[in-house]
Structure 1
C-alpha cells in the first residue's frame, strides 16, 4: 500500500500545505517533491510507531516550513518563466476581448498601467498564497486574503479605465493585418501554455469570456441585453466546466 494512504489526514494536510508553501516560496518543483516524499516516509514510520505529527515537525508547522524553505535555494529561472506567463497571460485576456469587438488599439497609459497592475497582483499573490498554505489560519481569514488578491486587480483595472478617459496619452493603432497577427500569436501562446500545463482551463476560460461576447455583438440585441447575457453565459459556462472537473476528479 502507498505510504500516502497510511498517513492520517493531519499528516496529509501538512504535506499538501508544505508543498504549496515551498512552491510559492519559489523553490524548484523537483526538489520540493523530493523533500515532500522524504518527509512522507518519516511521517508514515512515525505514525506506525504510534507517534504524532508533532514529534516530527514540532508544535509549529509554520516554523518547520520556514526552516525547510530557508535551507533551499530559490529557482529564479523557473520563476522568471512563471512571471512572464502571468504577464503575457493577462494580456491575452485583454487582446481576445478587444479582438471580438474589432481592431486593436491601446494607449501608452493602458499598456503601462496593465503591466503595473499585473506586477501588483504578483506582489500580493506570492505572500498571500504562502500565508494561506501554512494552514494555521481560520477559513474566514483565508477567505479575506483570497478575496483581497482577486478584488485588488479588478479595482485597479476599473481605475485604469477611468484614468484612460481623463488622461490623454499617445495611442497605438494596430490595424486589421497587425491585429490579426497579434491574435494568431496570442492564440499560439495560449495553446502552447495549455499543452505545457496539460490543462484546458486557460483555453476554456478565455473562450467563455470572448466567444459569447463576439456572437452576441453581431446580433441586433441592445447593448445592455448583450452585456447581461454575455456575463451569464461566461460565468455560467465556467462554473459548469469546474463542476464537471470536480465530478471527474471524484470519480477517479
Structure 2
C-alpha cells in the first residue's frame, strides 16, 4: 500500500514523462518499476526521498541513462504554436477585420505562449493534488478549480479583445478587407493541407471548422462583418461548428478507449 506522498510522486512522474514526449508504453513500464521500488522502500521503513532524491527532477537526473529518447518534443511544440497562431487569426482574416496593430499582436502572442503554459500548470496541478491514484477520478475540488480557471480564461479572452479593439497602441498598416481575406484563405489552405499530409486529419478538420462560420457569413450575409445578419449567421454557424467539434472529439475518444481495451 503506497503512502499519499508516494502516490503524489508517481502522478508527478507520469506528468513529467508525458511533458518530455515519452511513449505511453515506456511511461507505463517506468512508472510500474518506480512503484515497485517505492512499495519495497516503504515496507523496509525507508522514506520516499531516499529512493527519488526528493523531487521528480532529481530522480530524472539519476535515471537519465535509462530513459528512452524524446520523440522530437521541441519540434512538435513549435508546430503546435504555429498551428495555434493560424487557427486563431484565420477567422478574423477571412472576416476582413484583422487589425495589424501592436496590441493585437501582443494579445495573440499572449494566448499562444502563455495559454498552453497556464493550461498545463492548472491541469497538472489538479491531477497531482486532486486525483485519486487508484481510480484516476478527479475530486470535486479539482472540478471547481478547473471551472474557475475556465471562467477566468474566457474573461481574459473577451476582455482582451475589448481592450485590443479600443486601444490598438500602434497600427503597423491597414490593408484592405480583400487583402485580409486573401491572406486568410491562403493560411487556411496551409492549415488544412499541412495536417492532411502529416496524416493528422482532425487538425485539418478543426482549422476548417473554425473558419467555416466566417466563410458562410461572407457568402450569405447582407452587409459587412458589423451588420446584424453577418453576426447572426456567423454566431449560429460557430455554435454548430463547436457542437460538431465536440461530437467528433467524443466519438474519437470512445474509439481510442475501445482500442486500448482490445
Q: Structure 2 stretches of 5 or more lacking a match?
A: 1-8, 132-137, 223-228
Corresponding residue for residue 71 of structure 1: 59
Which residue number corresponds to residue 157 of structure 1? 157
- The 8 Å contact of residues 195 and 204 in structure 2, kept in 1 or not, is answered as no
Deviation at 1:107, TM superposition (A): 1.3
C-alpha deviation, 1:115, in angstroms: 0.9
Q: What's the offset of the Cα at 1:186?
A: 5.7
Contact 1:95/1:183 (<8 A) preserved: no
CA 233–182 in structure 1, closer or farther in 2 if over 3 Å, else same? closer
Query: What TM-score, normalized by structure 1, do the two folds share?
Result: 0.66
CA 1:88 to 1:228, structure 2 compared with 1: closer, same or farther past 3 Å? same
Structure 1 outlier segments of 4+, above 6 Å: 14-17, 63-66, 74-77
Q: Which runs of 5 or more structure 1 residues have no equivalent in the other structure?
A: 1-13, 47-52
Residue 83 of structure 1 and its aligned partner are, at CA, apart by 4.3
Measure, in 2, the Cα distance between the counterparts of 1:200 and 1:34: 26
SS of 1:29's partner is coil
- TM value normalised by structure 2: 0.64
Please list, as runs of the form range in 1=range in 2, the aligned pairs for 1:35-184 lying within 5 A after superposition: 36-40=28-32, 55=39, 67-72=55-60, 80-102=74-96, 104-134=98-128, 136-137=130-131, 138-168=138-168, 169-174=170-175, 176=178, 180=182, 183-184=185-186
Measure the CA separation in 1 of the matches of 2:149 and 2:192.
23
How far apart, CA to CA, are the structure 2 residues paired with 1:163 and 1:35? 44
Structure 1 residues 21 and 226 mapped into 2: Cα distance closer, same or farther (>3 Å)?
same
How many Å separate the matches in 2 of 1:90 and 1:167?
24
Q: Does residue 19 of structure 1 match 2:20?
A: no
The match for 2:208 is 207
1:99 and 1:179 in contact (8 A); partners too: yes
Q: Is the 8 A contact 1:100 1:214 kept in 2?
A: yes
Is the contact between residue 217 and residue 226 of structure 1 (CA under 8 Å) also seen in structure 2?
no
Does the 8 Å contact 2:15/2:124 carry over to 1? yes
Once the 2 structures are TM-superposed, how far is the Cα of residue 189 of structure 1 from its aligned partner? 5.0
For the 8 Å contact 1:15–1:36, the answer to whether it is kept is no
CA deviations over 1:85-137 (Å, ceiling 9, x no partner) = 34323321232202332375421210012212333323312322321332644
Contact 2:14/2:31 (8 A) holds in 1: no
Contact 1:124 1:149 in 2 (8 A): no
